[in-house]
Structure 1
Amino acid sequence: MNINFSFSKEPILNGDVAILLKTTQNKKPFGLKEVDPQQTILKVMSLEGFKGEENQKIELLVPHGSSFDRLNILGLGDVSSQKNDFWVNTGGKVFDLVKKAKKVVIFLDLEEKSVDRDQVKDFLIGFMLKNYTFDRYLTKKTEDNEKVFIHIVNQEADNYQKVLQEAKAVAEGVHLSRDLVNEPANVLGTEEFLDQAQKLKDLGIIVEVLDKKAMTDLGMRSLLAVSQGSSRPPFLVIMRWEGGQKEETPLAFIGKGVVFDTGGISIKSSLGMEDMKADMGGAATVVGLMRLLATRQAKVNVVGVIGLVENTPSSTAQRPGDIVVSMSGQTIEVINTDAEGRMVLADALWYCETILKPKLMIDLATLTGAILVALGQEHAGLFSNETKLTQQLLDAGKKTGEKLWPMPLSKEYDCLINSKNADMKNSAGRYASSITAAQFLKRFVHHTPWAHLDIAGTAMGTKPNSINNSWGTGFGVRLLNEFIKANYEK
């Protein structure tokens, strides 16, 4: 849907549809007097038992004399107990009421209080996030691309174009991440993913690329071992956004970018293997985040690092029992070639800490199926070596609705990845396997504050919700943007 937004304090009283919001605390929704001067709709609401409970909806033909054809009223429930992501979710719900209309007026206020600037921005973010479909390979489109005019009436509407641009930056970053996750692997290989990262140069991001030779010279044999079975070349991509002070140490975000994961020689079951096109979900989040930061001109220095490989079986693929030397010099015994993401991240983390020297590191990866067993698809797993960083991320998750759950790290778990033949093994078996995967990563981080987000359950395939009907979710883009804004932008 191609949307054109406008704003005013005074209502515009003509259009296809008027949308009003009602809470359980007020008798009538804001704007009803303007839409229905006789307020005959109040009687209909009473007859229908419409009290404004959360998600309650009523759709009416507007009474004679009104310039609208249709009226939709959305119940918001008790807004006094609203969650932080309330207005984002409301925006997504209102989007669903707009379909097939060409000119819509949304009365974005409540009878008892006005909706403030930040709440309007959240509303717009939710509205735009829901306005996403991945239908480029359908010969018959389910959505048209005709222009729709959305006019928002808000009592504090004043220079809302800046608010609109901020909301667009968030939505475009999430949409890019969703696009990357949704693309089939025959279209999005390592080189094509690299092309998407290179496009960020147009926004002022500095992009550096390490190819196979450069990584070989650096000793990144852990990452390279994963890629050696595929004809697709491996890359380590470094993206720099320099929006802060010149001397300011950057924040670092590292993403696993396995563009397709067959499991390698330890091949996966064919059941659900098609979903492994999304095993680059961590890298997709990092690229979406970098786009968002550059678009909104974030006043912070950030570096994004993604390791791009494909994990396939062949005569040149790594084998169970192989021992490889990582960039850190630590040796890894390959027990399971399907535990490949941690081997990619091992060299990426070590490179990031020792070469880029960031203030902190946060990696994101669709790392383990075990995190779905532990947390389902409602939370991503959060592992960290610092309490402060853990709390900052939890707070950002609560604010955006992209929820995290803290998971343990300890010596008792760490010893499970010890190997008789090398410094460590890449898999310790089924028990606590999300934790042992994180313990593996921790061995490649020395003194830098670090967090690992296992997003295997949240990056794709979640049930439809208020702001997303897409298979790819873009999880983590809004979370990390909020984390940066709340803690590291001056």
Structure 2
Amino acid sequence: MTDSFKIDFAPLAPAKAEKRAAPEKAAGSKVDSKTGSRTDVPHTLVIFAGEGNAFSAATLQFIGPAGEALIKRAAAVAKFKGKKATSLEILAPAEIDADRVIVVGAGPIDDGRQENGRKEAVEPVPADKTAPGASDYANLGGFVCGKLGRGAHALVAFDLARAPDDLAAAAAEFALGMELRNYAFDPYKTKKKDDSEENSRSEIIIGLSDPAGAKREAKARLAVAEGVLTARSLVNEPANVLYPEEFARRAKELTKLGVEVEILDHPAMQALGMGALLGVGLGSVRESRAVVMRWRGARPAKDSGKGASKSKSQPIAFVGKGVCFDTGGISIKPAAGMEDMKGDMAGAACVVGLMQALAGRKAKVDAIGIIGLVENMPGPQAQRPGDIVKSMSGQTIEIINTDAEGRLVLCDLLWYVQDKFKPKFIIDLATLTGAILVALGQEHAGLFSNNEPLSENLLAAGLETGEKLWRMPLGPAYDKLIDSKFADMKNTGGRHAGSITAAQFLQRFVNGVPWAHLDIAGTAMNSPSSEINHSWGSGFGVRLLDRLVADHYEE
């Protein structure tokens, strides 16, 4: 998080105004977000109304009868009815110790499965229902953050008309949504907005009956938010700044959190026989890298280190495609839109963000993250269509299209992580195919897997976080499309079923390990804005996989 955006939790008590100042003076009055005393920063009160402008008992006590009457009169004039994703802003009445009031429509209780759940602020399902609801609280937080804008000093009266069983957890999810929505990537803007540093600093107090519980719940979630924002920033960076060596250097910074990081350079990968991965980067002056990250959290550390236990438990593994820029190589892409190919490393960014999240919240699991970092450029040494390369597995691959390079990076990493770490499962993430956008658009990522329990757990985590997946088919009829006349396989299977044949290619490098492939080409970058993300790079996958780990794989 940043120093310019602070969130804290406090007890929710009725707002009492002691001889409120005259309106013209109150308009410029300020409040200290921690003490409640007026300073030189405007104060906003945020409350929630259910559909039909129903307020909870705690909210009614907070605003008082006069405040309720004024708000309902204003709502009638504005035709505000408390529907989800709507809001009403008014000057605060004298009885409320604030300068303005934002009434946010929470809508009716929702079942958590609506198709537009990522785009609308909703009141989530109670904890005793089976349908996921965590993403709805995060969306609500993002919606409120957007309404407050930058430089807000606000008190959020976090009490809904039908409060969830675990209010503290809901408040923590709400705070997570605010953190994610507040993110902006602007380090290369030389002309900033006119807001002074002081006026752009936000302090948000979330008031509720269990602030201590909310703080405990929020600690882990904000560590996850840090991982999401790291992934977003990596995807947003230009390729002249974030090339393979620099990406690896940034991943190395996870050692500060107790993550073990090993960087494999070109000679090291060559010695391992990673001919498929290395072939992709031959046309670039930037050498390829692979980064192996390990978090050992399955058992408490017996030494005085920062969290790296020496557990011998079977780890879980995550693999990320990191093509730092993809021209297509000799099979070069059209010029239009090629600038977006700086984001072809979003799978690797997600793995780095996930490892940061797991380490940041001290997850009780042993996890491996491995990323392959290359540039796919045309050049004198670039591989050509028709070339045959030998992968680490010993299998040979005929290069049909040099723009089908991501699978070449992943196949060597999949083999390496199986051979060295013997994981419980492997999940790989990649902006692998444009075909997945044709199939699913930008609402779902494609899920391919050889394992039913792993698939079911991933789908459930997607619903819970709002990072939704859709199961796609695999099978022998698709697999035969990548058979080659000259090698063990070819790297493309023709025009049809492109995302499926890409997954079939990867499956040839999986040896009986539970495995899932997530094609995130439609969701990782340039996806539609949501309540919690207005960034070009979305950080898709970090929350999804963290939730998967938390729900099923921690000790």
| TM-score (ref. length: structure 2) | 0.86
Counterpart in 2 of 1:229?
A: 283
Counterpart in 1 of 2:249?
A: 195
Which residue of 77, 83, 102 maps to 1:47? 77
**Aligned-partner Cα distance in 2 for 1:12–1:330:** 70
- Residue 5 of structure 1 deviates from its aligned partner by 2.5
AA of the residue aligned to 2:11: K
Contact 1:121 1:166 in 2 (8 A): no
- Aligned: 1:31 with 2:31: no
**Aligned-partner Cα distance in 1 for 2:426–2:52:** 45
Give CA deviations for 1:290-334 in whole Å, capped at 9, x if unaligned: 000100000000000000111000010000000011111101000
**Aligned-partner Cα distance in 1 for 2:444–2:49:** 30
- Aligned: 1:387 with 2:452: yes
AA of the residue aligned to 1:42: K
Counterpart in 1 of 2:160?
A: 110
- Aligned: 1:19 with 2:21: no
The percentage of aligned residue pairs carrying the same residue is: 50
- Aligned: 1:374 with 2:439: yes
Larger CA deviation: 82-91 vs 111-120: 111-120
Larger CA deviation: 217-226 vs 95-104: 95-104
**Aligned-partner Cα distance in 1 for 2:83–2:499:** 40
Larger CA deviation: 244-253 vs 156-165: 156-165
AA of the residue aligned to 1:437: A
Q: How does 1:168-187 map to 2 (within 5 A)?
A: 168-187=222-241
- Residue 80 of structure 1 deviates from its aligned partner by 4.7
Which residue of 354, 372, 385 maps to 2:419? 354
Relative to structure 1, the CA distance from residue 457 to residue 386 in structure 2 (aligned partners, 3 Å threshold; closer, same or farther) is same
- Residue 6 of structure 1 deviates from its aligned partner by 2.6
Counterpart in 2 of 1:299?
A: 364
- Residue 151 of structure 1 deviates from its aligned partner by 1.3
Contact 1:20 1:32 in 2 (8 A): no
Which residue of 210, 223, 226 maps to 1:156? 210
| TM-score (ref. length: structure 1) | 0.97
Contact 2:445 2:520 in 1 (8 A): yes
Contact 1:25 1:78 in 2 (8 A): no
- Residue 37 of structure 1 deviates from its aligned partner by 4.4
- Residue 36 of structure 1 deviates from its aligned partner by 4.8
Counterpart in 2 of 1:91?
A: 141
**Aligned-partner Cα distance in 1 for 2:282–2:269:** 13
Contact 2:55 2:160 in 1 (8 A): no
**Aligned-partner Cα distance in 2 for 1:24–1:483:** 33
Contact 1:58 1:74 in 2 (8 A): yes
Give CA deviations for 1:424-463 in whole Å, capped at 9, x if unaligned: 0001111001000000000000110000000000000011
> Residue 212 of structure 2: SS of its match in structure 1?
coil
**Aligned-partner Cα distance in 2 for 1:285–1:99:** 27
Contact 1:180 1:284 in 2 (8 A): yes
- Aligned: 1:119 with 2:170: yes
Give CA deviations for 1:16-49 in whole Å, capped at 9, x if unaligned: 1100111126623552443354132222223333
- Residue 63 of structure 1 deviates from its aligned partner by 1.8
- Residue 91 of structure 1 deviates from its aligned partner by 0.5
- Aligned: 1:133 with 2:161: no
CA-based RMSD of the aligned residues comes to 1.6
Q: Where does structure 1 lack aligned partners over 5 or more consecutive residues?
A: none
> Residue 397 of structure 1: SS of its match in structure 2?
helix
Give CA deviations for 1:180-220 in whole Å, capped at 9, x if unaligned: 00000000000110011100001000001111111111111
AA of the residue aligned to 2:136: F
Give CA deviations for 1:395-431 in whole Å, capped at 9, x if unaligned: 1001000000000000000000000000000011110
Counterpart in 1 of 2:22?
A: none
- Residue 144 of structure 1 deviates from its aligned partner by 5.9
Contact 2:140 2:177 in 1 (8 A): yes
Which residue of 498, 511, 516 maps to 1:433? 498
AA of the residue aligned to 2:190: T
Which residue of 529, 534, 542 maps to 1:464? 529
